[in-house]
Chain A
Amino acid sequence: MTKSLKKQLIKIIIAALLFAGAFFPLPQMIELALLVAAYLIVGTPILLKALRNIRNGQVFDENFLMTIATFGAFALQEYTEAVAVMLFFQVGEFFQSYAVNKSRKSIAALMDIRPDYAHVKRGKELITVSPEDVKRGEIIIVQPGERIPLDGTIIKGSASLNTSALTGESLPRDVSEGENVLSGSVNLNGVIEIKTTSIFSNSTVARILDLVENASSKKAQIEAFITRFARYYTPTVVIIALVLAFLPPLLGSSLGIKEWIYRAITFLVISCPCALVISIPLSFFAGMGAASRCGVLIKGGNYLEALSRAEIFVFDKTGTLTKGNFKVTNITAFIGSKETLLQNAAKVEGYSHHPIATSIKQAWGHKTDLKDISEVEEIAGCGIKAKINNQEISVGNKKMLDKYNISEPKIEKNGTILYVLYANKLAGYIKIEDEIKPDAAQTISLLKTHGVKETVMLTGDRKEIGHKIGKKLGLDTVHTELLPTDKVTKIEELLHKKAPNGQLIFVGDGINDAPVLARSDIGMAMGGMGSDAAVEAADIVLMTDEPSKIISALKIAKKTIFIAKENIVFAIGVKLLVLALGALGYASIWAAVFADVGVSVIAILNAVRLLPYRPQI
Chain B
Amino acid sequence: MKKTFKLENLDCANCAAKIEDALKKIDGIKSASVSFFAQKIEIEFDRDENSLVAEIKKIISKIEPDCELL
Question: Residues of A with Cβ closer than 8 Å to B?
Answer: 52, 56-58, 62, 96-97, 100, 103-104, 107, 213-214, 216-219, 227, 230-231, 272-274, 277-278, 281-282, 285
Q: What 0/1 pattern do residues 31 to 70 of B give for CB contact below 8 A with A?
A: 0010111101010000000000000000000110100000
Give which listed residue, B11, B42, B63, B65, contacts A214 with CB less than 8 A: B42
Most B-side CB within 10 Å, residue of A219, A272, A277: A277
Q: A213-B38, A214-B42, A227-B20 are in contact. Are A219 and B33 (CB under 8 A)?
A: yes
Are B37 and A274 closer than 8 Å at their CB atoms? Answer: no
Q: Which residues of B contact A219 (CB under 8 A)?
A: 33
Give which listed residue, A52, A56, A273, contacts B14 with CB less than 8 A: A273
Closest CB of chain A to B61's CB: distance in Å? 8
Q: Which residues of A contact B36 (CB under 8 A)?
A: 100, 278, 281
Closest A-chain residue to B63, C-beta based?
A: A58
Q: A62-B14, A214-B4 are in contact. Are A100 and B37 (CB under 8 A)?
A: yes
Q: Which residues of A contact B13 (CB under 8 A)?
A: 274, 277-278, 281
Are B33 and A97 closer than 8 Å at their CB atoms? Answer: no
Closest CB of chain B to A536's CB: distance in Å? 15
Closest A-chain residue to B61, C-beta based?
A: A56
Closest CB of chain A to B8's CB: distance in Å? 12
> Interface size on B (CB < 8 Å)?
18
Closest CB of chain A to B66's CB: distance in Å? 9
Are A277 and B14 closer than 8 Å at their CB atoms? Answer: yes
Complex CA–CA separation, A103 to B13 (angstroms): 14
Are B38 and A282 closer than 8 Å at their CB atoms? Answer: no
Are B17 and A230 closer than 8 Å at their CB atoms? Answer: yes
27 contacts between A and B (CB under 8 A): A52-B65, A56-B62, A62-B12, A62-B14, A96-B12, A100-B37, A216-B35, A216-B38, A217-B4, A217-B33, A217-B35, A227-B17, A227-B20, A230-B14, A230-B17, A231-B17, A272-B14, A273-B14, A274-B13, A277-B14, A277-B17, A278-B12, A278-B13, A281-B13, A281-B36, A282-B37, A285-B37
Complex CA–CA separation, A219 to B16 (angstroms): 13
Q: Which residues of B contact A214 (CB under 8 A)?
A: 4, 42
Q: Which residues of B contact A285 (CB under 8 A)?
A: 37
Most A-side CB within 10 Å, residue of B11, B14, B21, B33: B14
Q: A231-B21, A272-B14 are in contact. Are A216 and B37 (CB under 8 A)?
A: yes
Q: Which residues of A contact B17 (CB under 8 A)?
A: 227, 230-231, 277
1-35 of chain B: CB within 8 A of chain A: 4, 11-14, 17, 20-21, 33, 35
Q: Which residues of B contact A97 (CB under 8 A)?
A: 11
Q: Which residues of B contact A272 (CB under 8 A)?
A: 14
Q: Which residues of A contact B42 (CB under 8 A)?
A: 214, 217
Closest A-chain residue to B41, C-beta based?
A: A217
Complex CA–CA separation, A362 to B56 (angstroms): 64
Complex CA–CA separation, A236 to B62 (angstroms): 23
Closest A-chain residue to B43, C-beta based?
A: A217
Q: A52-B65, A216-B40 are in contact. Are A274 and B12 (CB under 8 A)?
A: yes
Complex CA–CA separation, A57 to B33 (angstroms): 23
Are A217 and B40 closer than 8 Å at their CB atoms? Answer: yes
Q: Which residues of A contact B12 (CB under 8 A)?
A: 62, 96, 274, 278
Closest CB of chain A to B9's CB: distance in Å? 9
Closest CB of chain A to B20's CB: distance in Å? 7
Give which listed residue, B4, B14, B35, contacts A274 with CB less than 8 A: B14
Are B37 and A104 closer than 8 Å at their CB atoms? Answer: yes
Complex CA–CA separation, A475 to B20 (angstroms): 44
Closest CB of chain A to B36's CB: distance in Å? 6
Closest B-chain residue to A107, C-beta based?
A: B37
Complex CA–CA separation, A281 to B13 (angstroms): 9
Most B-side CB within 10 Å, residue of A227, A273, A285: A227
Q: Which residues of A contact B21 (CB under 8 A)?
A: 227, 231
Closest CB of chain A to B19's CB: distance in Å? 11
Q: A231-B21, A274-B14 are in contact. Are A281 and B37 (CB under 8 A)?
A: yes
Complex CA–CA separation, A272 to B40 (angstroms): 23
Closest CB of chain B to A284's CB: distance in Å? 9
Closest B-chain residue to A278, C-beta based?
A: B13
Closest CB of chain B to A273's CB: distance in Å? 7
Closest CB of chain A to B38's CB: distance in Å? 5
Most A-side CB within 10 Å, residue of B35, B37, B40: B37
Closest 4 CB pairs of A and B: A216-B35, A278-B13, A217-B33, A217-B42
Closest CB of chain A to B25's CB: distance in Å? 13
Complex CA–CA separation, A97 to B10 (angstroms): 10
Q: Which residues of B contact A57 (CB under 8 A)?
A: 62
